[in-house]
Amino acid sequence: MLGLEYLLEEWEKDDNVEFCILKAHEEAFSAGGDLRALYTHHNPPRLGKEACYRMYWIDYHVATYKKPIIVLWSGLVMGLGVGLSVACMFRVATEKAVMLLMHA
């Protein structure tokens, strides 16, 4: 995720960039890898706190971004993908999009 944070900051400053498009790498938009990392790391309390801070920070950055962000949903959307994409200005879902929402 660090790469996306860096890119968003760079694109926000670049006058040649008018808008951003985010799409899934393959069949899913964040297929739970972020959640798996929270539970399987050797030092969960430290990783959990840092990871949660970064996740919420990037959600906030996307929600307050100075340029339009368009997210493309095709396939599974869950975990950080949901939090990140609902803050985007525009969301486009294909007929293959499936959003999984879980609550405790």
Average pLDDT value for the chain: 78
**What's the confidence (pLDDT) of residue 43?**
52
pLDDT band at 86 (very low <50, low <70, confident <90, very high): confident
Residue whose C-alpha is closest to residue 79's, from 30, 22, 41, 25: 30
pLDDT band at 94 (very low <50, low <70, confident <90, very high): confident
The reported pTM is 0.72
More confident residue, 64 or 84: 64
**What's the confidence (pLDDT) of residue 35?**
55
What single-letter amino acid sits at 54?
R
Average the pLDDT over 54-68 and give the result: 88
Q: Please tell me the distance from the alpha carbon of residue 57 to that of residue 39, in angstroms, as a whole number.
A: 20
Instruction: Say yes or no to pLDDT of 61 above 80.
Output: yes
